[in-house]
Amino acid sequence: MNPGNQESRDQVLAMLRWQLESGADEAIGHTAINHFIVSAQIKNAQIENPRFENPRIAKPPLQRMAPPPVMRPAPPRPAIMASGASPHEIAAACYDLAALRAAIENFQGCALKTTAKHTVFADGNPDARIMLVGEAPGREEDLMGLPFVGRSGQLLDRMLAAIGFDRSQVYISNILPWRPPGNRTPTSAEIALCLPFIERHIQLASPDILLLLGGISVKALFDTSEGIMRLRGRWKLYRSGEREIPALATFHPAFLLRQPAQKKQAWQDILALRTRYDSLPVN
């Protein structure tokens, strides 16, 4: 490029800005990912979750993979955490939220972690009676390490405030703890790998009500192929260990930003959530 050519310089800068906006905000590492290890862990997750057999697996970008850290397991089964265990085994070995968070942060089996800046575990009050489960972190969430802090999170806060709640009265997490590059839709293989973690997360938090934000969360937790347009507004019972938790699906706030005409239906769902909460027995 000719340094004096302003037009060429502007074109290059425009291309760089486009790549950043598309999610290409990481440099390629010097060492390739060991795909044999990742493929084996994906296969184990598919065996444990038969509904994710034969997924379309996206090839992860080349990125330096950090060496496996020393695990900090929760007793009484430390050997599982130190071995090449599956996500299901790792999650089952965690007996509190702190242990689960450490296990997810140390997990090396999902390629999404190599492109994410932070593991996004949860926000809000873990003792709350309402737990919200979204889909996956976006760019702002990945940068801050917290769920729902971008534009969709600000809308979610306003929705909660409209029925008298704030983040100190709910608990928030996602199906995936790592951002898919460019905010793309997670693959079925990625969901299969991460599903045991959110299932254990719900079991340990033990909420009285679940609010599922978006089609990915309700499809993953209820093993259904129905779309969010049919599922929203319907109460279902989610089986978590020995408990059955009432769960309500509604639109993801990011969808509402793109389709504001759907806010009326989302408002009906939020009112139904408040009514169900008010009917809970006093602790």
Across the strands, what pairs with 211?
132, 248
Structure tokens at 96: 């509190």
pLDDT: is 13 or 123 the higher one? Answer: 123
Q: How confident is the model at residue 56 (pLDDT cuts 50, 70, 90)?
A: very low
Is pLDDT of 50 > 80?
no
Between 193 and 2, where is the model more confident?
A: 193
Q: What mean pLDDT, rounded, does the chain reach?
A: 84
In this prediction, residue 41 carries a pLDDT of 56
Pairing label, strands 243-250, 209-213: parallel
Q: DSSP letter string over 17-43?
A: HHHHHTT--SPPPSS---HHHHHHHHH
What architecture is domain 6-278?
Answer: 3-Layer(aba) Sandwich (3.40)
pTM over 0.85: no
pLDDT at 233 over 90: yes
Q: Is the pLDDT of residue 45 over 70?
A: no
Residue spans per domain, the chain: 6-278
- Selection from 253, 137, 229 nearest residue 184 by Cα: 137
Confidence check: pLDDT of 69 > 80 = no
